Amino acid sequence: MSELAIRAENLSKQYRLGTALSRHDTLRDQIMGGLKSAFRRGGRAEQGPETIWALKDVSFEVKPGELVGIIGRNGAGKSTLLKILSRITEPTRGRAEIRGRLGSLLEVGTGFRLELSGRENIYLNGAILGMRKAEIDRKFDEIVAFAEVEPFVDTPVKRYSSGMYARLAFAVAAHLDPDILLIDEVLSVGDLAFQRKCIAHAKRLQERNATVLFVSHNMFAVKAMCNRVIYLSEGEARFDGAPEHVIHLYEQESRLTTAKWAQEMVGPDPARRPIRITEIELLGEDGRPRTVFDYGERMRVRLSFEASERIANPNFCVSFIRSDNVACCNFNMAMDGFTIPFVSGSGTIELSTPPLKLVSELYTAQVMVWDTEFERLYTAQMGRNFHVQDQLLSTHFGVFHEPAEWRWPAGEGRS
């Protein structure tokens, strides 16, 4: 049996809320851990309201040369797992063994100093990751070219966009030539061309037997990059296997779940509500199921529902949520001037969107049913994922792009 790159044995991490922080956990860790785990089933019953388990007895082994995806909903424990493997956070119980030179990219710009230039931050971040100055000197031009920041290398990084941050941070970490590279969602802020470049670089690392662990909500990137996927749910490892199989199970389990923000308003069980969504279908204009749409295309969203009681004037709403949880747009019957007197029993309703002007990214369709005054919420459920693609438009351009009208008054600035 070949030597392992990573061995995790019964890794568990407990956070105590509302108490002094340990030296390994930042305020942000505590707050985000609390928000992400507030509604975990069994969490409060097992250890009371002041503690949560971000990870519970997670065990796995990774061989050199494997590209492993880590997937799961927000709060599943993905980032906590990578922090433990990176030795940023200590486990509450269990142990992890890492064999080889480790490079990690857990948050965009981690280790960067805003007042320093890109050049200075390359040397600083490289030193933090364990690179010697001679090694950074040798790889400097390659890092800058990979990050595509040549014109801005001597500009303070406080003036960089999030995409420039991501490219530079990834370039430094990847050119560490690590034996093991841990990546947490950083590719979500890059454009499609840069994502493809990162995936290709990860494949090159694999060819020289490096190991990559990749956390992402982007199933397209996971499928393209990984030869194995681990699915975390509520801090536990639910499935571990081939990407197609595990991703299918994840999407089936995640589909039509209650939106976390709405659980206190509607309760966690859709079957106990006056109306629930039983199916969400994303279709092209031709009526065929789709998961990838070009910028400017229209989408048809077909909703199947079951109303256990008569609901007067239901207000069906569809929102598109980006992979970083930004709510990008909302379509609803009340504001769009469409009414239904009442619903009762089973039925379907279909929305045809205007041309999608969202930038290239991964999105999730969220479906809600309100009253017409947006005062009572009947249900809020997460639906299918889809991708909008365009060769140019990325999150650098904001949430959407709609052409504007430009005017140049005659005679001004023409002398």
**Domains of the chain, CATH where assigned:** 6-252 (3.40.50.300), 255-397 (2.70.50.60)
Give the predicted TM-score (pTM) of the model.
0.69
CA nearest to 173, candidates 149, 201, 207, 196: 201
Task: Tell me what the mean pLDDT of segment 277-290 comes to.
Answer: 93
Q: So what's the pLDDT on residue 262?
A: 87
Residue with the larger pLDDT of the pair 131 and 278: 278
H helix count then E strand count, the chain: 11, 17
Q: So what's the pLDDT on residue 42?
A: 40
Residues 224 and 387 sit within 8 Å (Cβ to Cβ): no
For the chain, how long is the longest CA-to-CA vector?
A: 78
Residue with the larger pLDDT of the pair 16 and 95: 95
Q: Is the pLDDT of residue 83 over 80?
A: yes
Residue with the larger pLDDT of the pair 396 and 73: 73
How many whole angstroms separate alpha carbon 41 and alpha carbon 45?
8
Q: What is the pLDDT of residues 180-224, one digit of tens each?
A: 988 887 665 556 677 777 778 888 888 889 999 988 877 878 888
pLDDT band at 30 (very low <50, low <70, confident <90, very high): very low
How many whole angstroms separate alpha carbon 212 and alpha carbon 201?
11
Enter the tokens of residue 294.
């070009």
Task: Tell me what the mean pLDDT of segment 161-167 comes to.
Answer: 78
Q: How far is CA 341 from the centre of its chain?
A: 39
Residue 202: what residue type? A
Enter the tokens of residue 413.
């600035």
Enter the tokens of residue 407.
């005017």
Q: So what's the pLDDT on residue 31?
A: 42
Tell how strand 342-352 and strand 300-312 pair up.
Answer: antiparallel
Q: So what's the pLDDT on residue 186?
A: 61
Sheet holding 102-105, edge to edge: 102-105, 180-184, 211-215, 67-71, 228-233, 236-241
User: What percent of the chain stands above pLDDT 90?
Assistant: 47
Tell how strand 6-16 and strand 51-62 pair up.
Answer: antiparallel
How many whole angstroms separate alpha carbon 405 and alpha carbon 258?
41
Task: For the chain, give the mean pLDDT.
Answer: 84
Q: Is the pLDDT of residue 1 over 60?
A: no
Percentages of the chain per state (helix, strand, coil), in multiples of 5: 30, 35, 35
Other residues' Cβ atoms within 10 Å of the Cβ of residue 289: 11
Residues 95 and 47 sit within 8 Å (Cβ to Cβ): no
Q: So what's the pLDDT on residue 347?
A: 96
pLDDT band at 248 (very low <50, low <70, confident <90, very high): confident
Tell me the three state secondary structure of residue 34.
Answer: helix
Task: Tell me what the mean pLDDT of segment 150-161 comes to.
Answer: 90
Task: Tell me what the mean pLDDT of segment 310-322 comes to.
Answer: 95
74 phi and psi, to 5 degrees? -55, 135
Segment 22-29 long-range contacts (CB within 8 Å, at least 24 positions apart): 22/90, 24/88, 24/89, 24/90, 25/89, 29/83, 29/89
How many whole angstroms separate alpha carbon 167 and alpha carbon 355?
30
Q: What is the pLDDT of residues 88-144, one digit of tens each?
A: 889 999 999 999 888 777 765 566 788 899 999 999 988 887 788 999 999 999 999
Q: So what's the pLDDT on residue 108?
A: 55
Cβ-based neighbours of 173, under 8 Å, separated by 6 or more:
103, 104, 105, 125, 129, 181, 183
How many whole angstroms separate alpha carbon 64 and alpha carbon 139?
24
Q: What is the pLDDT of residues 349-390, one digit of tens each?
A: 999 999 999 998 889 999 999 999 999 999 999 888 888 988
Task: Tell me what the mean pLDDT of segment 45-74 comes to.
Answer: 84
Q: Is the pLDDT of residue 175 over 80?
A: yes
Task: Tell me what the mean pLDDT of segment 9-19 comes to.
Answer: 83
CA nearest to 370, candidates 362, 379, 361: 379
Task: Tell me what the mean pLDDT of segment 3-15 comes to.
Answer: 93
